[in-house]
Structure 1
Amino acid sequence: MKISATTKIYAVIGDPIAQSLSPQLHNGLFQETAVDALYLPIAVKSEDLEKLIDGFRLMNFGGFNITKPHKLEIMKVLDQLDPLAEKIGAVNTVVYRDEKMVGYNTDGFGFIKSIESKIGEIPKDALTILILGCGGAVKSVAMALADWGIKKVIIANRTVAKAEELVSQINKSWPGKAQAIEMAPEALKKAVDEAMVVVNGTSLGMADTALQSPLPKELLKKELLVYDMIYSPAVTQLLKDAQAIGAQTENGLEMLLYQGLLAFELWTGIFPDPVVGKKLLEEGINADEK
């Protein structure tokens, strides 16, 4: 692409950053939508974060994404927070406009958009979702679901105290919307029977744990939507088990896609074509696997 003095700059910052598919997505979308902009991956250590943001303020920056480990720390150097991002306590997208840096969290939106067409005619206020795990992405998704208005989100975690802490935070803003359970077969069976959607928010299914699943396959039901936030591999052991009994399945690629599309809209006012965006991400994944 041709770069000029008017080219707006965007970035993703983290440590490490080489694995990010965001440059592949956003540079492709800038080209597709004819927006004069460039998106860069920038590795930054925690101790240099504030200096980097000060530098952004001096440049023709439109905004940036944040990945591990800076989603919490970045909040200290921003001018303003979106109300939901403030409740979540983490930011993954920043818009720089009118000399103000405003933080948002688009992870939950990404998840919601990725399941909307798959839950059919179930009203959201009748929807119960079981989430396995308690990491940063789970927190963002669980709070966004409570804010969206689902009936209940159930959090299951090996360390029950962590699940209880998250549930307490959710119920403080959205009373009665969340419940914590332990990762025990009896508790999981009861939660699966109650839920319409089961979500893996743990790392089980990736790399060295590729043959492992966070949920015993005998607990799965054909009526469920079984969702794994992992997108590489595309079909984890959990999703294989679910497909074997005929359950509907989804991996985390569309969550990644839609959180990126919302960030793009926040920056440019344009919500890009999801089909184009998904193709760009798939091309990036295929290139990484070669």
Structure 2
Amino acid sequence: MDDLYGVIGDPIAHSMSPVMHNAAFHDAGIQASYGRLHVVPSELPDAIKGIRALGLRGINVTVPHKTAVMPLLDEIDPLAASIGAVNTIVNREGKLIGYNTDGLGFVEGLKKDIQGDLSSKKVLIIGAGGAAKAIYFTLASLGVRNIDITNRSDDKAFDMIDSCPVDIESQYCKLQEAELKLHQYDIVIQTTSIGMFPAAEESPIRVDRVKTGAVFSDIIYNPLKTSFLRQAEQHGAVIQNGIDMFVYQGALAFTKWTGITPNTELMKNIVLKQLGG
């Protein structure tokens, strides 16, 4: 019988994780099946019991369950605990362990476009939601010392800065202020849903001040090139969309489940094919 894996969320029909992971399992010669599991919030505790009872080997967790699932697990990885969200569950002989691979997946994708030491870069994160927090805490844990936050509301940004488990230099700046000092940053990371299909022409900030050689990243991957990225590219930035983060967070989960490093180029090509890109 194949080992069973899946992704839980509400909604879940749009998820590309099954096609990506099933291709990776096949390529690695692993007899496994990965599927979408639609779980509404009220059924989450029963779903976790079902994972134990059915012996599913691993689960990805997406919205709205990343935080709510944590008290239902047996153990939480320290980074996931500090972020306050789990996106990967490993079933180790009936013991369910929660991890967060979002931030590490983002950084893994970021590295290919970074020149020099990542820890020396000055970073701006746009947004203060769950993805922003995962990226922020992960960068801080990897030694990046200077990370600023801009967001529509300041409460969530200040909460994120105050709760960071690593002592770094961080400032909150309003969106208009961020636009004016954008040229100061080596890396600018857009983590909000602004610019996602079908509202692809929207951008969280105006991008017309870009430091030479700066990397502008948008975690959105539909469309593949948001208005934010188009503006940055026009002003000479190196740009990257959310495909790499999606692929690498999935690859890290795959490795935690199996102990095997999957073929990330295969996974990326599968996702691009699904997106028609």
User: What TM-score, normalized by structure 1, do the two folds share?
Assistant: 0.92
Query: Could you tell me which residue of structure 1 aligns to residue 12 of structure 2?
Result: 17
Aligned-partner Cα distance in 2 for 1:42–1:207: 24
Aligned-partner Cα distance in 1 for 2:201–2:23: 34
Partner of 2:208: helix, strand, or coil? helix
The partner residue of 1:180 within 149, 169, 172 is 172
Query: Could you tell me which residue of structure 2 aligns to residue 213 of structure 1?
Result: 203
Q: Check if 1:119 corresponds to 2:114.
A: yes
Q: Check if 1:109 corresponds to 2:104.
A: yes
Aligned-partner Cα distance in 2 for 1:41–1:177: 40
> 1:257 touches 1:274 (CA, 8 Å); kept in 2?
yes
Partner of 1:207: helix, strand, or coil? coil
The partner residue of 1:47 within 42, 45, 58 is 42
Identity of aligned residues (%): 38
Partner of 1:219: helix, strand, or coil? coil
Deviation at 1:98, TM superposition (A): 2.2
Query: Could you tell me which residue of structure 1 aligns to residue 138 of structure 2?
Result: 144
Deviation at 1:188, TM superposition (A): 3.7
For residue 37 of structure 1, what is the amino acid of its counterpart?
A: A
Query: Could you tell me which residue of structure 2 aligns to residue 264 of structure 1?
Result: 254
Aligned-partner Cα distance in 1 for 2:223–2:256: 30
Q: Check if 1:85 corresponds to 2:77.
A: no
Partner of 1:240: helix, strand, or coil? helix
Superposed CA offset, 1:129-185 (max 9, x none): 101111111111111111111121111001011111111111xx111343222212x
Aligned-partner Cα distance in 2 for 1:21–1:207: 16
Query: Could you tell me which residue of structure 1 aligns to residue 150 of structure 2?
Result: 156
Deviation at 1:117, TM superposition (A): 1.7
Deviation at 1:187, TM superposition (A): 4.3
Aligned-partner Cα distance in 2 for 1:221–1:195: 7
Query: Could you tell me which residue of structure 1 aligns to residue 159 of structure 2?
Result: 165
Q: How many residues align?
A: 277
For residue 85 of structure 1, what is the amino acid of its counterpart?
A: A
Partner of 1:175: helix, strand, or coil? coil
Superposed CA offset, 1:78-126 (max 9, x none): 00000100100000000001220000000001110111121112x1221
Aligned-partner Cα distance in 1 for 2:119–2:234: 30
Partner of 1:54: helix, strand, or coil? helix
> 1:156 touches 1:180 (CA, 8 Å); kept in 2?
yes
Superposed CA offset, 1:2-31 (max 9, x none): xx2xx1100100000011110011111111
For residue 234 of structure 2, what is the amino acid of its counterpart?
A: A
Q: Check if 1:284 corresponds to 2:274.
A: yes
Superposed CA offset, 1:195-236 (max 9, x none): 101111111212343112222122234431111111110011
User: Residues 94 and 212 from structure 1, CA distance in 2 versus in 1: closer, same or farther, beyond 3 angstroms?
Assistant: same
Query: Could you tell me which residue of structure 2 aligns to residue 254 of structure 1?
Result: 244
Aligned-partner Cα distance in 2 for 1:180–1:276: 39
For residue 218 of structure 1, what is the amino acid of its counterpart?
A: D
Aligned-partner Cα distance in 2 for 1:124–1:282: 27
Query: Could you tell me which residue of structure 2 aligns to residue 195 of structure 1?
Result: 185
Structure 2: runs of 5+ lacking an equivalent: none
User: What TM-score, normalized by structure 2, do the two folds share?
Assistant: 0.96
Query: Root-mean-square deviation (CA), in Å?
Result: 1.4
Aligned-partner Cα distance in 1 for 2:208–2:70: 43
Aligned-partner Cα distance in 2 for 1:189–1:240: 18
Superposed CA offset, 1:214-260 (max 9, x none): 22122234431111111110011111111212211100100000000
